[in-house]
C-alpha cells in the first residue's frame, strides 16, 4: 500500500510540475522568434496578408516574426508542416479558402483541416475575379463566353493548386458557361499573374487585390468579379451575375492557425496581437488600399474563425465532391 501511495504521489507531483512548466512557458511567451508559414509563393495575396500582420505583431509581441513561404498543392504542403510543428506558439500558419477549404476536399492530407489546428483569428477577406491578357479580343464577360465557345480548347487558364479557389472558379465557370479550355496549375498567384502580364497564359481567376495594380495600369483585362455585389476596390467591374453567369460565389477569406495543443494562453496572446494590428489606423489603411476587408471585432476571435471555417467546409465540400474534382 505504501508503494502505491508513493507512485500516486509521484504522478501527482509530475502533473503539477508539468502544469507549472506549461504555465511558465505561456507567461514568458514569446521568448524567441516566431515563424508564420504561408503555403503560397512570395508576393501573392496570402503572403501579403501575413507580412502586413507580422510587421505589426512583432512590435506587440516583442519578437521577430519570420514569414516562410512553403508553396505547393494549393497551400496544403505548408499547412502540413505547420500541423507537424511543436504546439508551442512558435510556428503558425496563415491560410485561406484554397488551402483550408477547397484543396483538402480533393487532396489527401496528413492532417484534419479542422481538428488538427488551433484557430487563432479570422483575418481579412477579398474576392476573386476573372482576368485575361490584353490580347484577348473580348472586352466583356458575354463576349468572352461567346469567343470561348467559338474557339474551344485554344486558350489556357491559370489555377493555383488542385482544389484551390482558382481551380474551383474555372471548373464552375466552364460548367455554367458551356466552355472548355486547358487549366495550368501554379504554385501561387504571383507567378500566375507574371505569366498573364507576359502573355504566357490567357486567363486567370485570381485574387482581386493582388491584380488590381496591373488592371489599373491596363496590363490585364477584367471580365467580372465573383461576388454578390460590386467590389469597392474597382466598383466599375460588374459581378459575374451581372454578366449573365450567376452561381456560388467564393469569398476569399484568410485565417491564422497554430498547431493543435498550443496552450490557450499563447493563443490568447496571439489573438490579442492580431486584434491590436487590426485596430491600428495604419494597418486598416494598408488593407483598404489592398482591397481587403477586416472582419469586425466580434468575428476576430478564435471561436469565430472555427465557426466560419466549419460553415465553409459544410457548404463547399458537398459541392466540390459532387463535381467529381480529384487530384491527379
Q: Domains (ranges, CATH) in the chain?
A: 31-125+254-322 (3.40.190.150), 127-225 (3.40.190.10)
Give Dmax (Cα) for the chain: 89
DSSP 126-181: EEEEEEEETT-S--SHHHHHHHHHHSTTS-EEEESSTTSHHHHHHHHHHHHHT---
Instruction: Return d(Cα 147, Cα 143) in angstroms, integer.
Output: 6
Cell of 95: 491560410
Identify the pLDDT of residue 4: 45
Instruction: Return d(Cα 256, Cα 170) in angstroms, integer.
Output: 27
Instruction: Return d(Cα 39, Cα 82) in angstroms, integer.
Output: 10
What is the gyration radius of the CA atoms in the chain, in angstroms? 22
Q: What are phi and psi of 248, to 5 degrees?
A: -65, 135
Give this prediction's pTM: 0.83
Q: What is the pLDDT along the chain (328 residues), one digit of tens a residue?
A: 554 455 545 555 444 544 544 455 557 999 999 999 999 989 888 999 999 999 999 999 999 999 999 998 889 999 999 999 999 999 999 999 999 999 999 989 999 999 999 999 999 999 999 999 999 999 999 999 999 999 999 999 999 888 888 998 998 899 899 999 999 989 888 899 999 999 999 999 999 988 999 999 999 999 999 998 899 899 999 999 999 998 768 889 999 999 999 999 999 999 999 999 999 999 999 999 888 999 999 999 999 999 999 999 999 999 888 878 776 5
Of the candidates 100, 132, 147, the one whose C-alpha atom is nearest the C-alpha of residue 305 is 100
Instruction: Return d(Cα 300, Cα 283) in angstroms, integer.
Output: 15
For the CA atoms of 75, 81, 84, 86, the dihedral, rounded to the nearest 10 degrees, stands at -120
Cell of 255: 485565417
Amino acid at each position: 500500500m505504501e508503494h502505491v501511495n508513493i507512485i500516486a504521489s509521484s504522478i501527482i507531483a509530475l502533473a503539477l510540475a508539468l502544469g507549472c512548466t506549461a504555465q511558465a512557458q505561456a507567461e514568458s511567451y514569446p521568448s524567441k522568434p516566431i515563424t508564420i508559414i504561408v503555403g503560397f509563393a512570395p508576393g501573392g495575396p496570402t503572403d501579403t496578408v501575413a507580412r502586413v500582420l507580422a510587421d505589426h505583431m512583432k512590435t506587440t509581441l516583442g519578437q521577430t516574426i519570420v514569414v516562410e513561404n512553403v508553396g505547393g498543392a494549393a497551400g496544403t504542403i505548408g499547412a502540413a508542416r505547420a500541423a507537424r510543428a511543436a504546439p508551442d506558439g512558435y510556428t503558425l500558419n496563415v491560410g485561406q479558402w484554397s488551402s483550408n477549404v477547397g484543396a483538402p476536399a480533393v487532396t489527401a492530407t496528413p492532417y484534419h483541416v479542422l481538428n488538427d489546428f488551433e484557430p487563432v483569428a479570422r483575418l481579412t477577406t477579398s474576392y476573386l475575379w476573372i482576368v485575361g491578357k490584353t490580347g484577348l479580343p473580348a472586352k466583356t464577360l458575354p463576349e468572352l463566353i461567346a469567343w470561348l465557345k467559338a474557339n474551344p480548347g485554344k486558350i489556357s487558364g491559370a489555377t493555383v493548386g488542385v482544389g484551390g479557389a482558382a481551380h474551383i472558379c474555372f471548373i464552375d465557370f466552364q460548367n455554367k458557361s458551356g466552355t472548355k479550355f486547358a487549366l495550368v496549375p501554379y504554385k501561387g498567384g504571383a507567378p500566375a499573374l507574371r505569366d498573364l502580364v507576359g502573355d504566357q497564359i490567357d486567363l486567370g481567376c485570381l485574387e482581386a487585390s493582388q491584380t488590381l495594380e496591373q488592371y489599373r495600369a491596363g496590363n490585364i483585362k477584367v471580365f467580372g468579379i465573383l461576388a454578390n455585389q460590386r467590389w469597392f476596390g474597382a466598383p466599375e467591374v460588374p459581378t459575374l451575375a451581372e454578366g449573365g453567369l450567376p452561381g456560388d460565389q467564393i469569398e476569399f477569406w484568410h485565417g491564422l492557425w497554430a498547431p493543435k495543443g498550443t496552450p490557450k494562453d499563447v493563443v490568447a496572446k496571439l489573438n490579442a496581437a492580431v486584434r491590436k494590428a487590426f485596430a491600428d489606423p495604419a494597418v486598416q489603411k494598408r488593407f483598404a488600399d489592398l482591397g481587403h476587408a477586416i472582419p469586425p471585432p466580434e468575428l476576430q476571435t478564435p471561436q469565430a474563425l472555427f465557426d466560419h471555417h466549419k460553415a465553409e467546409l459544410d457548404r463547399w465540400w458537398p459541392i466540390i465532391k459532387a463535381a467529381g474534382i480529384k487530384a491527379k
